[in-house]
A = this chain, B = another copy of it.
Amino acid sequence: MIRDEKAPPLVLENFIPYRLNKAAEAVSQRFARLYREQYGLTRPEWRTLATLGQFGTATATVIGTHSSMHKTKVSRAVLALEKRRWLRRKRDGSDRRIENLELTSAGRKAYAELAKVAHQFETELLAHLGKRGESGLIAGLAALERLHDSR
């Protein structure tokens, strides 16, 4: 048995949190180009659009919870999408603190296009991973989600 006394205590490129972060970053960047270059959206704006497209109507707080964004990020993204006339604010009948947000028809159109782009990106991504990579990644993510949800 050979023992290497100079082995570094930690090898960054093998360290799971680092690898996970780097992989996520790379995927995000690649995907972001699709909505940034074509539509000029930022990531918070994209997430807001996606949430609203999915829900039909939502408050800023709901958007933040659903898309894991801080409320100030949501606030700014909503403002930007409103300026672009992709969403509208409607006051709530029973609670005047709340804004019920919904996409305009232009917003729904953009959402439909971007949802298609997103699906295609995901499909291609998974295809490139191969069968084993795909099922592995999905199982790994599910395990991480279970871990974090239980805290």
Taking Cβ atoms with an 8 Å cutoff, the residues of A that contact B are 8-13, 15-28, 31, 47, 50-51, 53-55, 66-68, 111-112, 114-116, 118-119, 121-122, 125-126, 128-130, 132-148
Residues in B whose Cβ lies below 8 Å from that of A111: 9
Interface residue from B22, B23, B114, B140 paired with A133 (Cβ < 8 Å):
B140
Nearest Cβ distance between residue A56 and chain B, in whole angstroms?
8
Rounded to whole angstroms, the CA-CA distance of A137 and B23 in the bound complex is 12
Q: Is the CB of B142 within 8 A of A16?
A: no
Report the separation of the CA atoms of residues A126 and B147 in the bound assembly, to the nearest whole angstrom: 10
Q: In the complex, A114 Cα to B27 Cα: how many Å?
A: 28
Across the interface, which residues of B come within 8 angstroms of A133, CB to CB?
Answer: 139-140, 142-144, 146
B147 adjacent to A143 (CB under 8 Å): no
